[in-house]
Structure 1
Amino acid sequence: MEDHKNPIKTVGLLVDESYFLNTNPLIKEIVSNGIAETDIKVIVYRDVLKKNESYSYTVFGLKDFNFKGVTELQSINEFISDEFDLLINYYDVEKPVLLLLTSKSKAKFKVGFSSIDKRLNHLTISCNTGNHKVFTHELFRYLKILNKI
């Protein structure tokens, strides 16, 4: 965390849709707390990707990575190299590919669930992914305390 003074404007949202399919309501909650929707970049992990299904966000799966954890997908590489003010790791089950993206992310401040390895996030919130309203309420309560918003 280099710069404590700059308020949060840009948000990266890494979601595991294997268990949580409410990405749009989650984004609405974040927007209702003062973050512009245009400043939120979303990337979604799915255990199973259907060939003919169209997705509203950049979607990736395990097959998009080689055995060394490297991907050729430009959208994923751009996401991890973006220096977001805030990265929200919206997954509560540890999957190697999600942990890899979180650890490689250049985001300035990372937030996730308390069930995930504590070394990956600056702030963890105790609830499960089904409670996106509780998560965002707690997240923005702490961001205010930390003078991030």
Structure 2
Amino acid sequence: MFLKGFKEKSNKKYLNKLLSERHANVNDSKIVSLGIIFNIDEVNNFEQFRKLADNIDVKPNRLKIIAFSESEKDNVNTWDACYNPKDFGWKGTVKNSELQEFLNTEFDALVSYYEDGVLELKLITALSKAKFKIGILQTDERLNDLIIKNPLKEFNSFKKEVHKYLTILNKI
């Protein structure tokens, strides 16, 4: 328990370092590939994310969706790519090779759809090599390039707003 606190502090320090060194590189390149991160403890309808990808013309083979759960139980067997706090080590290291592969993929856009300030979710967003990051309003605004203030339960309005702003930014 004592070491868990040190590990969390180490990861927070690493996250702050990542976010302070981050440079937003927004250009008008089109979105062809899309990565999505969501907290399965908050939202469990992952089909809505496929509809979001269809809405912004991303082909199914260029879409990758991962889920995160704070519970370490295997009761989330309905979702195949679900990660938990055990997949992270000290100083933001990722212990899971599949999660590391997701983070190394250079998506044209990354959607972070979660409200809770879970440290590991923030780490996934910050560690991602995505070119353009989209999310809902967080306590730390350095995480995303496009922030949409939207209640988590109103996904259809989020989808409309994403489409509207990506059209304005000439990304779709």
TM-score (norm: length of structure 2): 0.79
Q: Which residue of 2 aligns with 1:134?
A: 157
What secondary structure, in the 3-state scheme, does the structure 2 residue paired with 1:88 have?
A: strand
More helix by share: 2
Q: Which residue of 2 aligns with 1:33?
A: 56
Once the two structures are superposed, what CA deviation does each residue of 1:109-133 show, in whole Å capped at 9, x if it has no partner? 0000113411110010011221111
- Structure 1 residue 136: Cα displacement: 1.1
Cα pair distance change 1:115/1:72, threshold 3 Å? closer
Whether 2:170 is the aligned partner of 1:147: answer: yes
- Structure 1 residue 141: Cα displacement: 0.4
Cα pair distance change 1:55/1:71, threshold 3 Å? farther
Q: How many angstroms apart in 2 are the aligned matches of 1:126 and 1:18?
A: 20
What secondary structure, in the 3-state scheme, does the structure 1 residue paired with 2:147 have?
A: strand
* Number of equivalences: 149
Once the two structures are superposed, what CA deviation does each residue of 1:7-65 show, in whole Å capped at 9, x if it has no partner? 00100000111111111123223213322122110110012243365333311001121
- Percent of counterpart pairs with the same letter? 31
Structure 1 gaps, min length 5: none
Cα pair distance change 1:45/1:142, threshold 3 Å? same
Aligned alpha-carbon RMSD (Å): 1.7
What secondary structure, in the 3-state scheme, does the structure 2 residue paired with 1:30 have?
A: helix
Q: Which residue of 2 aligns with 1:112?
A: 135
Q: Comparing 2-11 with 76-85, which one deviates more in the overlay? A: 2-11
Q: Which residue of 2 aligns with 1:50?
A: 73
Structure 2 gaps, min length 5: 1-23
The 8 Å contact of residues 12 and 86 in structure 1, kept in 2 or not, is answered as yes
Pick aligned residue for 2:103 from 57, 80, 84:
80
Q: How many angstroms apart in 1 are the aligned matches of 2:58 and 2:47?
A: 14
Larger Rg: 2
